[in-house]
Chain A
Amino acid sequence: MSHYEAPIREPLVLGDKSYHDITEDIAKPIEGAANKNWYIAFYISLVAMLWGFGCIFYTVGTGIGVWGLNKNIGWAWDITNFVWWVGIGHAGTLISAVLLLFRQKWRMAINRSAEAMTIFAVFQAGLFPIIHMGRPWNAYWVLPIPNQFGSLWVNFNSPLLWDVFAISTYLSVSLVFWWTGLLPDFAMIRDRAVKPFQKKIYSLLSFGWSGRAKDWQRFEEVSLVLAGLATPLVLSVHTIVSMDFATSINPGWHSTIFPPYFVAGAIFSGFAMVQTLLGIMRKVTNLEDYITRMHIEYMNIVIILTGGIVAVAYATEFFIAWYTGSPYENYTYLSVGAATGPYAWAFWSLITFNIITPQLLWFKKIRRSFIWTFIISIAINIGMWFERFDIIAIVLSKGHLPSTWWRFEPTFVDVGIFIGTIGFFFVLFLLYARTFPVIAQAEVKTILKSSGEFYKKRSEQGIPTKPAINLAGSEGTSDKNNKE
């Protein structure tokens, strides 16, 4: 089997790297000490997190009335943040699972961090379904457990219950998928460790990985099977989240396009968050040779594609809302009422940040620019928050009966909890970046000789770096030549 790669493809690993260089580069942030900037960032995040926890305790202790919700708008920032965080998490699984199925080698430098982002984002998302309950101490009642109430069970018809299954399955499968991939990398850190404590820790984390041929063969099979399972999972999780709205009869919520459109939006916002994080990480951890300009460009292309799908969905929503002939659709989400009503600012933020700004990425100069990418990715993160807010709050603020029309004003507790989850997310991510191998070294090493800059140049110049491919007779079937 050959490893021929078309010369037209850009290299994925820059510079004259050997296998050892990869190990060194990736192990460095773990083995070294944190610098001042890391501590500053960590403390800011920690303070935000603690503040958020304070707001959560205040809510649970005092009652949900400390939020800005009212009797017509029973969901606002809580579920907005929930959907936003779940959506962010989806890019991680997309990068590790879907791009694996599509054999995209460029995913290898970014999948580890994207999956970490998934897991930490799902943690944040998972908080909201519990803390937005009026009686969170009864949250375990959502589980179908035999009990002393004559085995009183849950009703399986509610999408909120499907959420419980979707999110918990998603978190567990993502964790297993991520951890499996980490085994060879933890083993690498373990084998390099000089301090006994560090050695002990990474020995525990790496589950005794010794890298035998049989282990690798099974490792690959498992990765592929998990990718095959995670792909429908990632689609179904955000689908189920979308069904919280789409199964209802509210105009603006009841729309059959929600399942795929939410998924596309999730990938869109998730990739934006990956861009935000990796844009910084590649610099501070000196991994610019692995997370290259080309990786950034490819992610931007995914953003244009999913952003385009989302834009088509908006247009469809607009069109069908009018096409239904239903007067109720006219003052709800993405229709005339939304664009001119009291939430017009939220609506136009959505259009500006989600639809207009990403169009800049059509220009090659912009999508290959780190600074532009960073700015646009922040814009998309904001825009996608507004998308969820608009879907939820605008629809609820104007229901079927005019006597129920009301507005939503967030309180400092709503805002505080959201800030708290951002803080919590970064606390986890910063700790991760100092203790975990942030790039899957084992995977990157598999593409070094086919896609590394040094090796690509050598093979273009005809200097053999590996057993030569027999190019003679390539007119015929490829397999005869490939059999080794």
Chain B
Amino acid sequence: MYQFSGKLKTFSIALILLGALGIAFSFYTAPKSIEDAKEIMASQTSHDGGHAISNEEVKKDIHTTEVKGDSISHGEMENHAEEVHQEATKEVHAAADVHGENHDDEHAEHLYHQLKNKPWSALYVSLFFFLGISLLVLAFYASQRVAQSAWSVVLFRVMEAITANLVPTSIIMLLVILSASVLHINHMFPWMADGVFDPSSPNYDPIIDGKSWWMNTPGWTIRSIVYLAIWNGYRWFIRRNSIKEDTANDGLKTYKLNYNVSVGFIFLFMITESMMSWDWIMGLDPHWFSTLFGWYVLSGLLVSAITVIAFVTIYLRSKGALPGVNDSHIHDLAKFMFGFSIFWTYLWFSQFMLIWYADIPEETTYFVMRFNEYKLPFLAMVVMNFAFPILLLLNSDYKSIPWFIVIGGVVILGGHYIDVFIMVMPATVGSQWFFGIAEISALLFFLGIFIYTVFSAFAKANPIPKGNPFLKESEYFHYYNIEHRGEGSGDHH
């Protein structure tokens, strides 16, 4: 049995507290009123360059964006702010009007919402990232049961432990969902704003109104709760019954029940995952749509999930807690990291290229906005999620070296965090994005929760799923061209 060390526990609690503190701070410093926003805006123009101002121009004229987007993403704002201003004024007269009057109330209100969204969005990105990873570990685990795969059986308890993180993230997600829909205390989803469905309101949006059959608060809230209930229901069941399997000795009855329930879960998962991505992410940009979106979200979370499984496995093995795991198991996980990185890129490129190629305005705005305002993370993400893993993990020998996988995995996880960031932020905070205290605190907070829940869950059960009929195959698993180095020399005993 694994003992959750006091050191690690303290560390995770410290992360949670630190993160919570930072989150509280970011909410505290967010503007409370339009007047606050105006003040922030004023101070921004003086020392933060044209950040706030250029934002509004971007909205009005894409042309301007091309001039300014560049300098914004290069982070050279402070030095070149004045230059950019002048350039833009000269270049686009339409923008010049706005420029002169950009301290008007409409702008301030817009900015106020974006700034108010900032701490919420920072929280939401990290929350979705961690929730999604836990969910995809669960789905991967279910697929391993359904495929009757043998190599991964010794990793079952690791995967089960990771899915323990689904519970706290789901609860927090539920709170965020309720605060958005029932309490209306954040403005992340534009279609939830007042008057959007009311033809007599100045806020009326006929496009969104046309979707009111799907985009309505009660429906959205109920659907969200149903997704969370299905996922957590399966997790609760399979964790309980997997431990039962250890001692069941009932002629594989429990094993077969677990198999059947996993088949059912995969069926429901395929459906709820797509719907979840439309509700929770695509709905942030209510005018935009893409049929591939659900599977695109899935592929990014899947590769992150496999990476997290590899990380936790490597850590636990180094502590001697996973006696059945050898280099071949690590090699297989790395192969999945490699393969699904390419799969993610395939879907990313398919979605991007098809929209770029046809260039239909309703769809293209999505990428124009992201490419102009988020150029550096947008391009960095493709390098981190594709070029880096493909170069690093192509070699067969490298795939069983833990530190290699850790390096590759950190980049993959960073890249997919950015992926989620770019899905969410442009819709909620626009050009007001920044990777600062709010974002880092949210990451630390959820990382702390992750470490705490995962390792306490792992300590609660036998690390070897004794009752599984494929256990012995898994323990004997040896991929033919893998040289098992360093095993039995202190790695585990």
A residues at B contact (CB < 8 Å): 1-2, 4-9, 101, 220, 232, 235-236, 239, 243, 246-249, 254-260, 308-309, 312-313, 315-317, 319-320, 323-326, 469, 474-482
Total count of chain B residues near the partner, CB < 8 A: 47
Asked if A260 and B295 sit within 8 Å, CB to CB, the answer is yes
* Chain A residue at smallest Cβ distance from B213: A322
Asked if B270 and A474 sit within 8 Å, CB to CB, the answer is no
8 Å CB contact of B274 from A8, A239, A254, A312: A312
Which 5 pairs between the two chains have the least Cβ-Cβ distance?
A257-B291, A256-B292, A259-B350, A8-B469, A478-B475
User: What are 30 sample pairs from A and B whose C-beta atoms fall under 8 A apart?
Assistant: A1-B478, A2-B478, A6-B472, A6-B473, A8-B470, A239-B350, A248-B358, A249-B360, A254-B360, A255-B354, A256-B293, A256-B350, A256-B355, A257-B292, A258-B291, A259-B347, A259-B354, A260-B292, A317-B291, A319-B278, A320-B289, A323-B211, A323-B214, A325-B211, A474-B472, A474-B475, A475-B323, A477-B324, A477-B326, A478-B326
Bound form: Cα–Cα A308–B146 in Å: 15
Bound form: Cα–Cα A476–B339 in Å: 31
Residue-wise interface mask of B (468-483) relative to A, using a CB-CB cutoff of 8 A (1 in contact, 0 not): 0110110111101000
Asked if B475 and A308 sit within 8 Å, CB to CB, the answer is no
* Chain B residue at smallest Cβ distance from A221: B481
- Of B207, B289, B323, B484, chain A has the most CB atoms within 10 Å of the CB of B289
Bound form: Cα–Cα A160–B148 in Å: 41
Q: A260-B292, A320-B289, A474-B472 are in contact. Are A479 and B487 (CB under 8 A)?
A: yes
Q: A317-B291, A476-B323, A479-B488 are in contact. Are A4 and B476 (CB under 8 A)?
A: yes
8 Å CB contact of A8 from B207, B252, B346: B252
Asked if A312 and B354 sit within 8 Å, CB to CB, the answer is no
Chain A residue contacts of B294, Cβ below 8 A: 316
Chain B residue contacts of A476, Cβ below 8 A: 323
Q: A249-B360, A312-B271 are in contact. Are A4 and B480 (CB under 8 A)?
A: no
Q: Say whether B267 faces chain A, with CB atoms less than 8 Å apart.
A: yes
Q: Say whether B490 faces chain A, with CB atoms less than 8 Å apart.
A: no
* Chain B residue at smallest Cβ distance from A475: B323
* Chain B residue at smallest Cβ distance from A8: B469
Asked if B270 and A309 sit within 8 Å, CB to CB, the answer is yes
Asked if B475 and A312 sit within 8 Å, CB to CB, the answer is no
State the Cβ distance, B248 to closest chain A Cβ, in Å.
15
Asked if A247 and B358 sit within 8 Å, CB to CB, the answer is yes
8 Å CB contact of A316 from B207, B291, B350, B476: B291
Report B313-366 residues with CB < 8 Å from chain A CB. Answer: 323-324, 326, 339, 342, 346-347, 350-351, 354-355, 357-358, 360, 362
Chain B residue contacts of A256, Cβ below 8 A: 290-293, 350-351, 354-355
Please give 8 more A-B residue pairs, beta carbons under 8 A apart, in addition to A257-B292, A478-B326, A479-B484. Answer: A236-B346, A239-B346, A249-B360, A258-B354, A260-B295, A308-B267, A309-B270, A317-B291
Asked if B488 and A480 sit within 8 Å, CB to CB, the answer is yes
State the Cβ distance, A66 to closest chain B Cβ, in Å.
33
Bound form: Cα–Cα A418–B336 in Å: 41
Q: A256-B354, A479-B487 are in contact. Are A235 and B211 (CB under 8 A)?
A: no
State the Cβ distance, A134 to closest chain B Cβ, in Å.
25
